[in-house]
Amino acid sequence: MRRRQTVAVIGAGFSGVLTALRLLDAPDGPCVRLVERRARFGQGAAYSTTSPQHLLNVRAANMSALPEQPLHFLDWLERNGVTSEGRTFVTRACYGDYLQSMLRAAAETARAAGRLMLEADGVTALHRRGERWRVELAMGRGFEADAVVLALGNLPPHPPATLDPDAAHSPAYAAEPWTLDPEQAPENGQVVLLGTGLTMVDVALSLSQARPDLQMLALSRRGLLPRRHLGSGPAPEPMDKLDGSVTQALCQLRAAAGAADDWRAVVDGVRPHVQAIWRDWPQAERRRFLRHARPWWDIHRHRLAPPVAERIDHLTASGALRTAAGRIARITPADGGLEIHWNARGETEPRRTRAALVINCTGPGGDLGGSGEPLVADLVRQGLIRADACRLGVDVDSDSRLVGDGGACDHPTLFAVGPITRGAFWEVTAVPDIRVQAAECARSVIGALDALQLSPAAS
Ligand SMILES: Cc1cc2nc3c(=O)[nH]c(=O)nc-3n(C[C@H](O)[C@H](O)[C@H](O)COP(=O)(O)OP(=O)(O)OC[C@H]3O[C@@H](n4cnc5c(N)ncnc54)[C@H](O)[C@@H]3O)c2cc1C
């Protein structure tokens, strides 16, 4: 009898859970060992928040984890007594509960019986053992797997180049917004938030709730805030794929937005084509997009739920939150806090702003070398992964197979899913795209396992 093969899925946020569920869907498919270092499986960075102010930024109607069952999440909400209709934005905590319930339900099916193992630990290294992988765990144990899927989520934000080394080690600097406990923030004084995007919005909401007397200044190069969803948004405008350079694509987008009743319908209409547009662009064009157009694209594409936008309006109107456009020259230690030396946009006179706390809210980074993640550092050291050409994460092929430092997929049983693969797909940071990638990746994994069974080494 054939040995049942094992797939290690590392990370149990949305990407890892969905890949695991798809692998379990396959009759006679492999065993899945899902490894997660957080206390709870199925939450990841996005859905582990317990704050009622942290809402999904995608309508409930578009958050089904299963694209072939578009009502799956709405039905779950109804069954669980959450008042909702398709256009509402429910809490992110609620979405974490949904994912956990899917994991529980899958484990109880006859098909998956005995095939799902949850490992509450961190993976620190992978080693090749013949045709298999040895997965090393932080607690000192390990296990062998036939294939491995990295579902590690976003890499931590890049530290600002303007941060003095002493400031970087100061307790007044928070490098990781997601691990910050707002209750540890100063009672009053000023907090400077580096960045004005969705991460900043999240942090501002949490801080204002825990510390109502804090003054917050959010700084970014352009000072652009994410736009908002409409309460009842327009249906996406069916769009053709945009062709040509970044400039030509943006011109087509602007023209379509000008002719539409609402620009949101155009942005949502082009979204199904974004991966293909990105794929068609040569590297130089992708870099041009990242340099010049990304901030504009991000604020229109990743929008705020209306109640969140109202809360931000309120904080702004009350003076608790100010946003500014400017260029930071240096961040230095000063009197137990930090001092930001910066130039506001359009001003020549430099400014100095004191902060009791500076929080890096610049969003996900892409620096594999500097990520501080032992597993990532180990894989880089072994040449099993490399950065993609735009340095947004790891390099993968169109089947989500990892590309090694020699530029080839040397190991057909090593995969990655989720936002860490943005370099290859760009639009793979939110549920509507990751759910598709996870299903496709699971199919590729099963294909690779089948090929392994047939290889001479297996017989
Ligand atoms: C704050 C926030 C809000 C968001 N809101 C939305 C939204 O409303 N709608 C939407 O569609 N998308 C949203 N997103 C996008 C989000 O990226 C995706 O929806 C999705 O959650 C990404 O899941 P992931 O599993 O790839 O990453 P993560 O959720 O980050 O999960 C990765 C998991 O891997 C674990 N891990 C990492 N390394 C190891 C290791 N070495 N060993 C073991 N475990 C490891 C981590 O602990 C983590 O739990 C949001 C993202 C963030 C950050």
Residue 233 inside a domain? The answer is: no
DSSP designation for 305:
P
- H helical segments located in 135-183: 165-168
Q: Is 148 in the pocket of ligand 1 (CB under 6 A)?
A: no
Which atom of ligand 1 is closest in space to residue 202's alpha carbon? 1
For the segment 126-166, what is each residue's pLDDT rounded down to a tens digit?
Answer: 999 999 999 999 999 999 999 999 999 999 898 999 999 99
Q: Is 326 in the pocket of ligand 1 (CB under 6 A)?
A: no
Q: Is 84 in the pocket of ligand 1 (CB under 6 A)?
A: no
Number of domains in the chain: 3
Residue 237 inside a domain? The answer is: no
Phi, then psi, of 105 in degrees rounded to 5: -60, -40
Q: Which of 360, 375, 403 is the last residue of a domain?
A: 360
Is pLDDT above 60 for 459?
Answer: no
Query: From ligand 1's centre to the CA of 2, what distance in Å?
Result: 35
Beta strand pairing call for 132-137 and 123-129 = antiparallel
Q: Is 201 in the pocket of ligand 1 (CB under 6 A)?
A: no
Q: Residues 144, 276: one domain?
A: no
Determine the residue type at 161. A
Query: Torsion angle of alpha carbons 422, 377, 448, 21, nearest 10°?
Result: -70
Q: Residues 279, 397: one domain?
A: no
Is pLDDT above 70 for 8?
Answer: yes
pLDDT at 60: 92
Round to whole Å and give the CA distance between 403 and 401.
6
Q: Residues 371, 356: one domain?
A: no
Is pLDDT above 90 for 239?
Answer: no
DSSP SS3 for 152: coil
Q: Is 56 in the pocket of ligand 1 (CB under 6 A)?
A: yes
* The pair of three-digit structure tokens given for residue 390, joined into one six-digit string: 């735009």
Instruction: Answer yes or no: are the C-beta atoms of 207 and 310 closer than 8 Å.
Output: no
Residue 385 inside a domain? The answer is: yes
Q: Residues 317, 401: one domain?
A: no
Q: Residues 71, 151: one domain?
A: yes
| C-alpha distances in Å from residue 226, one per residue of 38, 313, 401 | 29, 12, 33
Q: Residues 353, 386: one domain?
A: no
Round to whole Å and give the CA distance between 235 and 161.
42
Q: Residues 188, 288: one domain?
A: no
DSSP designation for 293:
I
Question: What does pLDDT average to over the chain?
Answer: 93
For the segment 354-373, what is each residue's pLDDT rounded down to a tens digit?
Answer: 999 999 999 998 889 877 89
> For a substitution probing ligand 1, which of 47, 428, 431 has the most ligand atoms within 8 Å of its CB?
431
Domain that holds residue 28: 6-156+366-458
Q: How confident is the model at residue 456 (pLDDT cuts 50, 70, 90)?
A: low
For the segment 253-278, what is each residue's pLDDT rounded down to a tens digit?
Answer: 999 989 988 999 999 999 999 999 99
For the segment 374-422, what is each residue's pLDDT rounded down to a tens digit?
Answer: 999 999 999 999 999 999 999 999 999 999 999 999 999 999 999 999 9
Average pLDDT of the residues in 248-253:
91
> For a substitution probing ligand 1, which of 126, 152, 201 has the most ligand atoms within 8 Å of its CB?
152
- What pTM was estimated for this model as a whole? 0.94
Q: Residues 97, 149: one domain?
A: yes
Q: Residues 50, 143: one domain?
A: yes
Round to whole Å and give the CA distance between 177 and 157.
9
Query: From ligand 1's centre to the CA of 337, what distance in Å?
Result: 31
Closest C-alpha among 452, 418, 431, 445 to residue 11: 418
pLDDT at 458: 57
Q: Is 418 in the pocket of ligand 1 (CB under 6 A)?
A: yes
Considering 51-60, 81-90, 179-188, the range whose residues carry the highest mean pLDDT is 51-60
